[in-house]
């Protein structure tokens, strides 16, 4: 198909498609004349993947380029693609102030890794991101929240097992490596959304029944009051 048709099918404007080609996110079409290129199903799919990573996954174009380069490298193993995808999409933190809180957070993360027996280095982007979050909690006077760490880690292990099982069942499929990226990036968005939905539900059950004033209406969340006690 021509680029106009590709644009129509995916809703991505032609100049944007050309931009993705220039940035190496999308392979160039097959030239059918000096000024005309032809695009196929593979282009359409790749384009939809780019939009998913961009719109839902919240990745930057540069990060998508790096992640897709890992996907397209035939020498890459699943384990390495997963690793690269994870490193690329995890924001890096300058480490913040080298204060007590940072030191305590580093120790807490190292202890967690050892306690769980995780094969993860404390220098990985994800471990550093967790360290930054814990240090920020401490500095804001909410260090007590770190007590949830092991429950969160249980939940994270459960999700990781599910993801790896999903990817594993796809061994042999040609979209195996791509599915690793999808599971990593879009899985974040799905889990975050589900956590918030579950929050609303848990909050409605616990706080929705614990009395209090009817003063504020706001967004409502069941619109119910918390006037009646359990």
Q: Is 56 in the site for a second copy (CB under 8 A)?
A: yes
> Using the rule CB under 8 A, is 28 a contact of a second copy?
no
Distance (Å, rounded) from C-alpha 131 to C-alpha 97?
12
Helix axis angle for 125-139 and 100-116, nearest 10°, is 130
Beta carbon of residue 144, minimum distance to a second copy (angstroms, whole number): 8
Residue 38 three-state SS: strand
Q: What is the C-alpha to C-alpha distance for residues 107 and 122, in angstroms, rounded to an integer? A: 10
Q: Which of 77, 100, 110, 111 binds a second copy (CB under 8 A)?
A: 77
Among 3, 23, 87, 106, binds a second copy (CB under 8 A): 87
The residue within the footprint of a second copy, chosen from 52, 71, 72, 92 (CB under 8 A), is 52
Q: To the nearest whole angstrom, how small is the minimum distance from the Cβ of residue 30 to a second copy?
A: 21
Please give the Cα distance from 9 to 100 (Å, whole number): 54
Query: Should residue 15 be labelled a site residue for a second copy when binding is judged by CB under 8 A?
Result: no
Q: How far is the CB of 6 from a second copy (least distance, A)?
A: 14
Q: Which residues 6+ apart lie within 8 Å of 178 measured at CB?
A: 49, 71
Nearer to a second copy, 2 or 48 (CB): 48
Based on the shown chain and the rule CB under 8 A, indicate whether residue 13 belongs to the binding site for a second copy: no
DSSP state letter for 170:
T
Q: Which is nearer to a second copy, 4 or 121 (CB)?
A: 121
Nearer to a second copy, 28 or 156 (CB): 156
26 makes contact with a second copy (CB under 8 A)? no
Instruction: Calculate the CA dihedral of residues 110, 167, 26, 51 and round it to 10 degrees.
Output: -80
What are the tokens at 134? 């814990």
**Part of the chain binding a second copy (CB under 8 A), chosen from 21-29, 31-39, 47-55, 60-68:** 47-55
Alpha-helix runs per DSSP H in 52-175? 61-72, 78-89, 100-116, 125-139, 149-169
Locus of tokens 């957070």: 105
Query: Which one of residues 36, 61, 72, 207 is an interface residue with a second copy (CB under 8 A)?
Result: 207
- By beta-carbon proximity to a second copy, the closer residue of 13 and 145 is 145
Tell me the two tokens of residue 76.
Answer: 């890459």
106 lies in the site for a second copy, by CB under 8 A: no
Asked if 140 is part of the footprint of a second copy (rule: CB under 8 A), the reply reads yes
């Amino acid at each position: 198909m021509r680029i106009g048709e590709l644009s129509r099918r995916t809703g991505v404007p032609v100049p944007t498609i050309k931009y993705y080609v220039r940035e190496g996110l999308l392979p160039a079409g097959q030239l059918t004349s000096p000024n005309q290129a032809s695009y196929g199903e593979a282009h359409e799919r790749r384009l939809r993947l780019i939009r998913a990573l961009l719109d839902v996954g919240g990745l930057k174009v540069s990060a998508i380029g790096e992640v897709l380069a890992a996907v397209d490298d035939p020498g890459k193993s699943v384990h390495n693609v997963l690793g690269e995808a994870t490193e690329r999409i995890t924001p890096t933190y300058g480490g913040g102030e080298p204060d007590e809180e940072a030191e305590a957070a580093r120790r807490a993360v190292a202890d967690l890794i050892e306690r769980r027996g995780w094969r993860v280095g404390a220098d990985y982007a994800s471990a550093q991101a967790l360290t930054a979050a814990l240090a920020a909690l401490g500095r804001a006077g909410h260090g007590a929240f770190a007590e949830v760490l092991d429950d969160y880690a249980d939940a994270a292990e459960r999700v990781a097992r599910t993801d790896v099982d999903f990817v594993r069942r796809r061994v042999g499929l040609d979209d195996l490596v791509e599915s690793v990226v999808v599971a990593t990036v879009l899985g974040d968005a799905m889990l975050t959304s589900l956590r918030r939905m579950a929050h609303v539900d848990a909050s409605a059950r616990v706080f929705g029944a614990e009395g209090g004033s009817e003063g504020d209406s706001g967004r409502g969340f069941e619109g119910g009051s918390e006037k009646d006690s359990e």
